[in-house]
Amino acid sequence: MKPVLLIDFGSTYTKLTAVDVEAESILGTAAAYTTVETDVGEGLNHALAQLEAQTGKLDFGQCYACSSAAGGLRMVASGLVPELTSEAAKLASLGAGAKIVGLYSFQLTQDDLEDIQAAKPDIFLLVGGTDGGNSECILHNAAMLATLEPDFPVVIAGNRTAARQCQRILEKFETYVCPNVMPKFGVLNIEPTQKQIREIFLNRIIQAKGLSKAAELLSDILMPTPSAVLMAMELLAQGCEGECGIGDLVAVDVGGATTDVYSMADGMPEAMNTVYKGLPEPYSKRTVEGDIGMRYSVHGIVEAAGLNRVSQLAQLPPRRVQELVDDLRRHTDSLPDGNPELEALDHALASLAIEVAVSRHAGTMEETYTMMGQTFVQTGKDLTRVKQIVVTGGSLIHTKDTAAIARHALWSSAQPMSLRPKTAGIWVDRRYILAAMGLLSAHYPQTALRIMKKELEQHGYSE
């Protein structure tokens, strides 16, 4: 059988992975700068040349790809109540692999419309109201959107009573009607909307991102990179026919601009004296921290964790930390390259990026007292029982201290009410293959799972 080529068109680098499906092994990996300003095919050709320098000339039988180039899949969503339909819209968007560039609740205003135009979204997700419930808000928002230039498609996934009327109001837009993301109070139905978003990405967005020529090389799949990683994590956790998974997990991808967190776990309360507050979250959950990143968003790490905490962890004076952080933001291509100060600072920044991002992703517990005695109120996912943590990202891959950095995802007495994992084994994506394995899993799930279990570097359990 001919080898399979897996491509990840990233914002900075185009990454290739060649796989021998029969041998269940990776033949080689390569990366080259993503030339999205001209033609992504140029960067692809450079990466192919690097790959074939390792492997020799390869005749690929199939080729699959994902992309986050040119900003990835940019979405704006609007709902009714922040904690309910707006939150459901957010979960649907993030789970489809999107980057949310605007999230609105209640009725859109003229100022909101100006912000939406400035954000230049690829897709607008319009939701609001349970089926048979409030329709005034979603109809108002459809009418407001109708005053804009139809530069983006609109996915309508709100109150079914108003969906077709919204479609008629938005007649000059490209529209898609999906089942309500929250058909009943507290009930989520986000999978149909996520599927529709991915189809739009495949059929429309790739043209705007300059990927149409590269798409001609593909056998089947082109999806947002976060969707591919999510598929890989679902497979790794749950397994497939003929191969078991590793169980519930948390995965963290620390990038230069954002930090993505994925959790594969039910996360609902188990204790009798704990009640759940808010929307039940999906088993497969993704969040994106747009202010937490190693270079473009490095100031966000310092603001979230505090300068003194960074200083303490890096063992550098606060003033020196601030100088180095400012320099990293000015020179986003900076690497430690053996510089002891930068190595110490990168270790601290990566550790705190994980700590902050996982703390925001995980649920929280609040203690209260009722007539029945002590009671706990849980909001979000309880990840304390998760036993596996998977990490990836340049700052974690290119250091020997990866496991120590990854352990900052664990529960800490400094945040006793945060429901982060209490003890877990660490799995390191040292060869940057998670997105590739997500792509491969669509056709060869057993092979993709076995490669991940073999290739991901394991470290023992820690607390």
Contact status, residue 322 vs residue 355, Cβ threshold 8 Å? no
**310 pLDDT above the threshold of 80:** yes
Q: What is the rounded radius of gyration, in angstroms, for the C-alpha atoms of the chain?
A: 22
Neighbouring residues of 284: CB distance < 8 A, sequence distance ≥ 6: 95, 230, 233, 234, 262, 263, 264
Query: Predicted confidence band at 21 (pLDDT cuts at 50, 70, 90)?
Result: very high
At 438, list the tokens.
């997500």
Q: How many residues does the chain have?
A: 463
Strands 62-67 and 25-33 turn out to be: unpaired
Nearest to 226 by CA among 406, 65, 121, 95: 95
Q: Per-residue pLDDT tens for 213-264?
A: 666 666 666 788 888 999 999 999 999 999 999 999 999 999 888 899 999 9
What is the C-alpha to C-alpha distance for residues 256 and 150, in angstroms, rounded to an integer?
A: 32
Classify domain 4-70+209-220 at the CATH topology level. Nucleotidyltransferase; domain 5 (3.30.420)
Q: How far apart are CA 131 and CA 6, in angstroms?
A: 41
Cβ atoms of 290 and 258 within 8 Å: the answer is: yes
Per residue in 173-227, pLDDT (tens digit) is 999 999 999 999 888 899 999 989 888 877 765 665 556 566 666 666 678 888 8
Under a CB-based contact definition with an 8 Å cutoff, are residues 53 and 225 in contact? Answer: no
* Mean pLDDT along residues 126-134: 92
Cα–Cα distance for residue pair 297/329, rounded to 1 Å? 8
Q: Where are the domains of the chain?
A: 4-70+209-220, 73-203, 238-292+362-462
pTM attached to this predicted model: 0.86
Cβ atoms 425, 389 nearer than 8 A: yes
Q: How far apart are CA 154 and CA 177, in angstroms?
A: 9
Residues 222 and 199 sit within 8 Å (Cβ to Cβ): no
| Strand, coil or helix: 160 | helix
Q: Is 186 left (phi over 0), alpha (psi -120 to 50) or beta?
A: left
CATH superfamily of 73-203: Flavodoxin domain (3.40.50.360)
Residue at token pair 């080689």: 28
308: its two tokens:
């003194």
Using one digit for the tens of pLDDT, what is the confidence trace for 149-162? Answer: 999 999 999 999 99
Q: Which two tokens stand for residue 383?
A: 């990840």
pLDDT value, residue 192: 93
pLDDT at 373: 78
Give yes or no for a contact between 246 and 264, defined as CB atoms under 8 angstroms apart. no
**Beta-strand pair 249-254/259-264:** antiparallel
Q: What does the block give as tokens for 354?
A: 């994980």
What are the backbone dihedrals phi and psi of residue 316, each rounded to the nearest 5 degrees, phi first? Answer: -130, 150
Euclidean distance between CA atoms 145 and 326, whole angstroms: 40
Q: Are 391 and 353 in contact (CB under 8 A)?
A: no
Q: 291 phi and psi, to 5 degrees?
A: -100, 5
Separation between Cα atoms, residue 140 and residue 146, nearest integer Å:
10
Q: Answer whether 173's CB lies under 8 Å from 150's CB.
A: yes
**Stretch 405-419: mean pLDDT:** 94
Q: Which helix (H) or strand (E) holds 259?
A: strand 259-264
Sign of CA pseudo-dihedral 436, 441, 447, 451: positive
- For residue 270, the tally of other CB atoms under 10 A from its CB is 10
pLDDT tens-digit readout, 69-104: 655 678 999 998 887 778 888 888 887 778 888 999
The single-letter code of the amino acid at 6 is: L
Across the chain, what does the average pLDDT equal? Answer: 89
Position 38 pLDDT exceeds 60:
no
